[in-house]
Structure 1
Amino acid sequence: MSLSDEDLMARVAEEDERAFPELVRRYQGRVINLVSRVLNDRECADDLAQEVFVRVFVHRRNYRRGSKFSTWLFTIAANLAKNEIRRRVRRRNWFSLDALQELLKDSASQLADPTEGRESRMEREQLQEAVGRAIATVPEKYRVALVLRDIEGLAYEEIALVLGVPGGTVRSRINRARGMLKRKIQPLLRQEGLP
């Protein structure tokens, strides 16, 4: 199907059985990526992404035609991820560093250059793990904005809609998150001989 996301969502609301699987195909990877980076837990991200699409389907008639589908979808995903973080905080199980490290190793192996030596590959993987740990320390409200902008590539206006805050607040949160990361990562970069 070469329909727009918005047209597909209209068909989902009209009970077209082929439209919903196409939307899931288009967005499942991005939703899993967003949720896993916010939660730092790939296994939970798979489950939560499934819940995101269940909510999309259940609330299909609430989608406002003319609104951008991806913004609506990422709003649902971000809200479910934030709810999961709050639930974990209550249980004192804030994030799974092991799961984050596993995710970073998976992505590192996918991006690995076959000509790269074992030692430099290990150094790159260690640096990625350190960056992942640094991202995990950024407070939720800043981390969500950062992931939506720098990893998912959403525009500031879309992030504002997803988070329900003004555009200036989005910019401020992203700048603060980047500053926090820079302070944590700079010593690592200096150690590696990078500026």
Structure 2
Amino acid sequence: MRNHFDFRLLLTGVLAVLAASACSASEPGAAQPATTGNSATIETSSSAPTSESSVAPGSPTAQLDPCSLLSPGELAEFNTFEFQPGHVPDYSGGSRPCSWNTPREAGNDGMAVLVAIRDSQSVDEVDLVDSPGATPVQTGTLNERRVAQAAAPGICLIALAVGDGARVDIGINGPGVPDDACPETTKIAEIVEPKLPEG
């Protein structure tokens, strides 16, 4: 766990991961099954070419509100401190994000959860850029929905496909997050996934 906490840096870090998909590079890999939660099946994969993110009126995610996809009550099991209501951060990274943070008094036990809607980027475009210790992007399914997972120590991003060209990203970060953040991120993705359109 981390030993200092700055919410502004934390949110910037999570958003940088979510924005990184616009700069993804190919990373060849052989399929190696792994799991990150009760119903998520993940395997190593390679990233596909990228596209610019923008709100696409015909996108299956165009009508989604990121702040409606989670509530502080749904996040209660993930931290001993109560999460503040979701809010739209200043920096969007080319997505439509909403962030839930623990209060400042959480200190070293604090964390942030981010949900970011990408109306015109697919799960094939996920990547971590300039993240020390990042592992290759993995792909698989969660409740028959395509997913991609990108991780580095203390941060995890799970992207849920909505159709072929849109996705919803779930990310967590903060000193209260273990180095292997993906099991917790998977639990949050399992809350969000049933609320998404099939696309």
TM-score (norm 1): 0.25
User: Which one scores higher on RCO, CA 8 angstroms, separation ≥ 6?
Assistant: 2
TM-score normalized by the length of structure 2: 0.25
Larger radius of gyration: 1
Give 1 or 2: higher strand fraction. Answer: 2
